[in-house]
Amino acid sequence: MKKQIAILGSTGSIGTQALQVIEEHPDLYEAYVLTANNKVELLIQQARKFMPEAVVIANPQKYGELKEALKDLPIKVYAGEDALCQVVEAAPIDMVLTAMVGYAGLRPTMNAIKAGKVIALANKETLVVAGDLINKMANKYNTVILPVDSEHSAVFQCLSGEYNNKVEKVILTASGGPFRHFTMEQLATVTKEQALKHPNWKMGAKITIDSASMMNKGFEVIEAKWLFDVRPEQIEVVVHPQSVIHSMVQFEDGAVMAQLGMPDMRLPIQYAFSYPKRIHSSFERLDFTKMASLTFEKPDTERFRNLGLAYEALHRGGNMPCIVNAANEVVVAAFLHDRISFMGMSDVIEKAMQKATFVQNPTYDDYVQTDAEVRRLAEEMIKS
């Protein structure tokens, strides 16, 4: 029986690479549902190629175009956020790959958990915003969450067979992004064109900016706490410009396990799809004879304040990570539209952390209210 996979965000970077994995293993996997936010043309192409049971376009204004383009095929066509949340509950679905960008991935992920689907988690904001709630739900509904982020997949692989051994710390590697050696003066004049040129990875615009500002690594720190049940002080970030070691785990005896590979997201995607088995792939292999050196540096949280702000949010707990995420989504969008400077993004996030309503033990409704409140606050700060 082929594994039936729903891909939330099939037109994004992770989604398109997930479809490459499915295409390489048509005997093992099938795309049951494909969804997109706005990229209707690419969604149409994907639907015609992979023939899913259903497609969903989150933007209702694109529904007519999608429906018309697929009218000759037996594919169900839906639109809107509610449809996105409901489609993941379909009985034949075995796994839901959450590859949507940002806070929008939270609700459909929650629905998939309630429906007992295996979650291949690429949407880090789900655990950043509501990690405690998601973990409690996963336990209640006996749902498996498999990490797809390269760093968390690496940690997950390092822990394989080691679950009874005490972890001293989790070490997340960071490329350092395109501005690793920039001075404060240089960072003040960074353009979006510069920020969108990541040295090692090909990703979507939002995550590429987050990587350049190191907010992406901050979110991964928060995500690691919930995925691996470790305290903030047990999570270390090291800058590793070559992006060959994807992350490490240090055990109480001092031994360090590391997962290495080429910087190719198809590897962690395929591992989540095939877990606990490893299956053949055509991906490029690591050639150690071509590796002159592997280097490591301590991250600079003075120049890249977002990493420090993420750690602060994790220590404070409650809805503070939700506050940081909402503010970050607003400032990244503003930066991509030339409405705020690269350094100004951190200023707004820090002020939002000071001004937004803090809730120590948030419910889902609290997260919804926090997200809305912070987006308003951040927009006001950008305009002022």
The reported pLDDT for the residue numbered 70 is 98
Instruction: State the Cα–Cα distance between residues 324 and 310, nearest whole angstrom.
Output: 7
- Structural domain of 134: 3-147
Entry pTM:
0.94
Query: Three-state SS across 196-250?
Result: CCCCCCCCCHHHHHHHHHCHHHHHHHHHHHHHHCCCHHHEEEEECCCCCEEEEEE
DSSP collapsed to 3 states, 64-80: HHHHHHCCCCCCEEEEC
| Model confidence pLDDT, tens digit, residues 121-132 | 999 899 999 999
Count: domains in the chain: 2
For residue 336, give the 3-state DSSP assignment: helix
SS3 171: strand
DSSP state of 118: E
Residues 177 and 255 grouped into a single domain: yes
In a domain, 278, yes or no: no
* Domain CATH code at residue 376: 1.10.1740.10
- Which amino acid would we find at residue 256? V
Judge if 366 and 228 occupy the same domain.
yes
Residues 99 and 164 in one domain: no
* Residue 198: band (very low, low, confident or very high) from pLDDT cuts 50, 70, 90: confident
**pLDDT tens-digit series, residues 219-252:** 999 999 999 999 999 999 999 999 999 999 999 9
Same domain, 80 and 159: no
Do the Cβ atoms of 43 and 135 come closer than 8 Å? no
CA gap 172, 287 in Å, rounded: 22
Question: What is the average pLDDT across 203-216?
Answer: 90
81 assigned to some structural domain? yes
pLDDT of residue 201: 65
What's the confidence (pLDDT) of residue 171? 98
